[in-house]
């Protein structure tokens, strides 16, 4: 099934033509749990990896044998998914209690090479906003699932670009690390439903005049809404409501909440799409915007890949695909991947001049 982002509630370039200079496309990946084939775009494998080529490894010296067994992480997610909407059984609770992090791979020394975790495989035919080296049509993303690398002590991301037609025989048994430092570093296998959308630059990075114009415009929308509310209040007071039970009252308030006028705002609805995506803009909702420039050539680096905890949350409801309207609270829709890095968002930025220049990570 495809996923379709609803049209934006307002054509913001109609209101602010200057924003057309701050437009970029992004490809929302729309991951949903499921296992893809090696020749398809996916999260968490299997990859189209040549049988004769060594699997990438982490050679940094750090504790590698202690953490969460990948099999445990998957079992826990499966049990919790099956028990959704009901209490856990005694047996399920017993199993979950036993799934503890620990020194599960005692033979693994700090200096041993550790197979990296397959995170994503993206074909440019599916993901038009993927920009890599000339002639390369496949990006494979790996990470070492321990947050101990570099001065910021983060996961370590490795990108592998290829020409897919050169792969040949695909590696049958694809390695993975035995344990991960944190459960939320482990992606659940997902199939993808890529969809290209239009984004606009983060509010704080627009010129002052545009920022002020947008703020005034948003305020104007709120004023209009207040006037509407007053009309409704007048009507409400002439038709007093009473409810026989608390449940009825609750149902009525839930209905009213759902019908509540939706407040359009630039940041939530018109600038940056939530969820896993390629291309587009970076959001700086937690820290002030900071330049992300290439260490090799100084060129500003846009995000190549954004890893997001939520596909959609309260502030970004208008981005929920039409096909998922009836399951807005379903964890499979809003958090299908189970990955949580930084404080929810991790970005891989690459150099637009030469994608082979070292990438940089950004966290929000």
The stretch near Zn ion (CB under 5 A) out of 126-134, 175-183, 280-288, 294-302 is: 294-302
Decide if residue 105 touches Zn ion (CB under 5 A). Answer: no
User: CA–CA distance from 129 to each of 177, 212, 233, 320, 330 (Å)?
Assistant: 30, 30, 47, 20, 28
CA dihedral 312, 316, 321, 325 (to 10 degrees): 90
Residue 340 CB, shortest distance to Zn ion, in Å, is 18
The DSSP line for 301-312 is --EEEEEES-SS
Give which of 128, 113, 123, 125 is closest to 167, Cα–Cα: 123
- Within 252-281, the residues that bind Zn ion by CB under 5 A are none
Whole-Å CA distances, 24 to 21, 303, 359: 9, 11, 20
Among 81, 222, 254, 296, binds Zn ion (CB under 5 A): 296
The nearest distance, CB 181 to Zn ion, in angstroms, is 9
Is 144 one of the binding residues for Zn ion (CB under 5 A)? yes
8 Å CB contact between 162 and 136:
yes
Q: Per CB under 5 A, which of residues 48..77 are in contact with Zn ion?
A: 58, 60
Contacting residue, 74, 104, 357, 360, with Zn ion by CB under 5 A: 357
Count of residues that bind Zn ion according to CB under 5 A: 11
Q: Which is nearer to Zn ion, 32 or 64 (CB)?
A: 64
**Near Zn ion by CB under 5 A: residue from 297, 322, 328, 356:** 297
Instruction: Out of 138, 264, 294, 334, name the contact with Zn ion by CB under 5 A.
Output: 294
Q: Chain centroid to CA 24: how far?
A: 18
Judge whether 85 and 197 are in contact, CB under 8 Å. no
Smallest distance from the beta carbon of 195 to Zn ion, in angstroms? Answer: 29
CB 274 within 8 A of CB 311: yes
Q: Decide if residue 1 touches Zn ion (CB under 5 A).
A: no
Smallest separation, CB 182 to Zn ion (Å): 13
Part in contact with Zn ion (CB under 5 A); list of ranges 31-39, 166-174, 228-236, 293-301: 293-301
Residue closer to Zn ion by CB (options 123, 146) is: 146
Nearer to Zn ion, 6 or 358 (CB): 358
- Considering only residues 15-44, where is the footprint of Zn ion by CB under 5 A? none
Sign for the pseudo-dihedral over CA of 273, 277, 280, 283: positive
Residue closer to Zn ion by CB (options 250, 354) is 354
| Residues 328 and 269 sit within 8 Å (Cβ to Cβ) | no
Contact 323, 193 (CB under 8 A): no
317-341 burial, b if ≥16 CB within 10 A, otherwise e? Answer: ebbbbeebeeeeeeebbbbbbbbbb
Of 32-40, 117-125, 328-336, 355-363, the segment contacting Zn ion by CB under 5 A is 355-363
Q: Which is nearer to Zn ion, 5 or 350 (CB)?
A: 350
| Helix residue ranges, H only, the chain | 12-15, 70-82, 90-98, 208-238, 246-259, 331-334
Point out which residues bind Zn ion (CB under 5 A).
Answer: 58, 60, 144, 146, 294, 296-297, 299, 351, 353, 357
């Amino acid at each position: 099934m495809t996923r379709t982002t609803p049209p934006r509630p307002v054509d913001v370039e109609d209101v602010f033509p200057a924003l057309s200079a701050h437009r970029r496309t992004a490809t929302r990946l729309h991951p949903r749990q499921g296992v893809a084939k090696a020749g398809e775009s996916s999260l968490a494998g299997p990859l189209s990896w040549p049988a004769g080529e060594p699997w990438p490894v982490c050679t940094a010296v750090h504790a590698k044998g202690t953490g969460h067994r990948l099999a445990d992480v998957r079992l826990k997610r499966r049990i919790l998914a099956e028990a959704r909407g009901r209490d856990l059984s005694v047996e399920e609770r017993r199993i979950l209690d036993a799934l503890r992090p620990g020194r599960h791979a005692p033979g693994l020394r700090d200096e041993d090479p550790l197979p990296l975790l397959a995170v994503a495989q993206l074909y440019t035919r599916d993901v038009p906003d993927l920009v890599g080296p000339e002639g390369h049509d496949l990006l494979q993303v790996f990470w070492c699932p321990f947050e101990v690398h570099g001065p910021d002590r983060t996961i370590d991301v490795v990108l592998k670009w290829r020409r897919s037609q050169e792969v040949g025989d695909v590696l049958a048994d694809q390695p993975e690390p035995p344990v991960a430092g944190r459960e939320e570093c482990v992606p659940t296998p997902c199939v993808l439903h890529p969809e290209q959308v239009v984004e606009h630059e983060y509010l704080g990075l627009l010129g002052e005049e545009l920022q002020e114009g947008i703020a005034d415009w948003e305020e104007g929308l709120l004023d209009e809404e207040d006037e509407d509310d007053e009309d409704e209040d007048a009507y409400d007071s002439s038709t007093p409501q009473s409810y026989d039970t608390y449940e009825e009252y609750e149902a009525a308030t839930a209905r009213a909440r759902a019908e509540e006028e939706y407040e359009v705002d630039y940041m939530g609805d018109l600038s940056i799409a939530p969820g896993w995506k390629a291309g587009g803009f970076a959001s700086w909702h937690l820290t002030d915007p900071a330049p992300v420039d290439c260490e090799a050539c100084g060129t500003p680096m846009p995000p190549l890949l954004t890893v997001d905890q939520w596909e959609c949350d309260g502030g970004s409801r208008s981005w929920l695909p039409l096909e998922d309207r009836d399951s807005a609270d379903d964890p499979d829709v809003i958090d299908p991947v189970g990955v949580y890095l930084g404080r929810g968002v991790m970005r891989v930025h690459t150099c637009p001049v030469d994608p082979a220049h070292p990438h940089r990570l950004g966290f929000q």
